[in-house]
Structure 1
Amino acid sequence: MLAASARRVPRRPLSSSASLTRSTPPRSPAGASRSYALSVVPPKIPKGMILPRHFTGKKAFQYNWYMRILDSSTTSPLIFLYHNDFTSQKLIKLRRDISAASNRSKPSLSSASPAGIPAEPVPEPLLTVIRSGIFGAALRDFPAVENADVMQMTEGVKGALAVLSLPVLDPPQLKAILRTFDRNVPPRKPKTEEELKKALDEKNADPLNPGRRMKKLRQIVDPELKVLGALLDGQILLPERVRSVADMPSLQTLREQLVGLLSSPGTQLAMTLSEASGGRLARTLEGLKKGLEETAGDAPP
């Protein structure tokens, strides 16, 4: 009976040449991901390729989509963002935070007119995670952008990128969005030498229980978000200039200041004429008369 059951149990071969030839290739380590750098330098042309290059399928759709985003920069700014270690839930929360910040500071162009007619609603900002390789090709073909400025903006940056499309250029709204970035995704603090040494020692240390499977620890994801620059009407703005633009007043405030500067000379003239009218004008003329009489009396005969 035992012999019959033993015959029914299939045996697994320990090693064979066939199993070695059909072995699967080694997988990449966990957490390793392919990184792209936004480059506008034309790649090397392979032999036999016909220029200009035309994308097909999904790449053609992405290329045309990115070109439409770049075309919209003539009227609305594009904010380039570098993001790292963002999960899908974190991206959803980031989009909600951007929408909430833009709603707290609506552009002045969206307010109702004096006649009581409501203006057209301004669309909300749109965050698009881009594919750097195809987006770089779209930037190369976009004539309004200087490649040297793009290279200066993305110098030393490798990883996932995103583009935030704003409906209009409204400095208070831009400032609210930048403040949201700093509050919800604060910049990472650089690690000290002690922290780096401790992490290296933990990595190279022997396991506590040799021969046993280590417990999987839940990795704490610390997302990172950084503003690389902006694109507005063919001009590349670096992060310092983007924040200086965000500190400017709104368009309506600038219009009111301009109207005040243009109307101030006329207002001052009207105030001077109003002050010189009536009794003040009579006193002014009386003083002028006495001054002329004193001048005539002091003159030699």
Structure 2
Amino acid sequence: MLSSRAFSTRPRLNSARRAPGFVSSRSYALSVIPPKVIKGMTLPRHFTGKKAFQYNWYMKILDSSTTSPLLFLYHNDFTSQKLIKLRRDISAASNRSGSKPSLSSKSPAGVPAEPTSEPLLTVIRSSIFGAALRDYPTVDNADIMRMTEGVAGALAVLSLPVLDPPQLKAILRTFDRTVPPRKAKTEEELRKEEEEKKADPANPGRRIKPMKQIVDPELRVLGALLDGQILLPDRVNSIAELPTLQTLREQLVGLLSSPGTQLAMTLSEASGGRLARTLEGLKKGLEETSGDAPAP
């Protein structure tokens, strides 16, 4: 199971303004645009206290993307129970594919020498994570802006322990199963919601009884960061469809050994049966041409 400490970076709101069981979120997406320089401000920025800890933590997460993918996720309207279930499902999907060979394995058989850690889901603080991305040398800010274009809301990152396409595919399937895509509302539903907002209360002057809100969470993969390159969702899905390391090795061995096998078969036929048959036919042809005359 993933550690609950991974979610300690979300901003806190007043308990009177925050509905119980809900995860607070930011109202803006990730921004890598350099801040405006104001009087008395020096660049690059130096954080202190809790912000410095978060900045260093985010830089460590970015450093891990040199050997394994880092998924960027957009999430909205998640209750704490839904978030816990999502973490458990990610862990279960990772363990189901953990016995398969990994693309990052150093073992010839494709089996890791030691057990790998589980994926870590971290709800990020957009402003500080954006500063970490700006200061990270190998990331192109234009790619980040292209990835988060039109996105406004809370973001999270999922750190995968290894680059394992079957594991990545299992996790992407878990997202669709645990948090299905939202269905588009019909015109009738939108009209009814608008009428309910404008309608007068049933009992004017009385306190409205609080009702339990029905939460429809939303989760979407924005892209991934791998070895300094930003991968959009299409490329992430393409990587997830790759075969296991053992299958790739078998295919590579087959491609390398195929020309040698064909050449060996050709030489075997030429030096063996086919050459003998060719010489025997030539001998018979000469004998028929010369008749029974003895050879000089």
Give the structure-2-normalised TM-score. 0.83
Matches within 5 A, 1:1-301: 34-106=26-98, 107-109=100-102, 119-275=113-269, 279-290=273-284
Distance of aligned partners of 1:43 and 1:277 in 2 relative to their CA distance in 1, 3 Å threshold: same
Structure 1 Cα separation of the partners of residues 47 and 60 of structure 2: 16
Task: Report if the CA contact (8 A) 1:36-1:133 is conserved.
Answer: no
Deviation per residue, 1:244-263 (Å, 9 max, x gap): 11111122211221111111
TM-fit CA distance, 1:209: 2.2
Structure 1 Cα separation of the partners of residues 235 and 256 of structure 2: 28
Larger Rg: 1
Deviation per residue, 1:115-167 (Å, 9 max, x gap): 9x972111111111110000000000001000000000000111111101111
TM-fit CA distance, 1:273: 3.8
Task: Report if the CA contact (8 A) 2:25-2:154 is conserved.
Answer: no
How many residues align structurally? 270
Structure 1 Cα separation of the partners of residues 240 and 215 of structure 2: 30
TM-fit CA distance, 1:278: 5.2
TM-fit CA distance, 1:234: 0.7
- The alignment partner of 1:68 has SS state of helix
Structure 1 Cα separation of the partners of residues 74 and 287 of structure 2: 82
Give the structure-1-normalised TM-score. 0.81
Percent of pairs identical after alignment? 83
- The one-letter amino acid of 2:180's match is P
Structure 1 Cα separation of the partners of residues 78 and 253 of structure 2: 47
Structure 1 Cα separation of the partners of residues 279 and 85 of structure 2: 75
- The one-letter amino acid of 1:108's match is P
**Which structure 2 residue ranges, 5 or more long, are not aligned?**
1-15, 292-296
Task: Report if the CA contact (8 A) 2:25-2:153 is conserved.
Answer: no
Distance of aligned partners of 1:29 and 1:296 in 2 relative to their CA distance in 1, 3 Å threshold: farther
Deviation per residue, 1:39-73 (Å, 9 max, x gap): 10001111111222110000000000000110111
Distance of aligned partners of 1:206 and 1:33 in 2 relative to their CA distance in 1, 3 Å threshold: farther
Structure 1 Cα separation of the partners of residues 279 and 242 of structure 2: 49
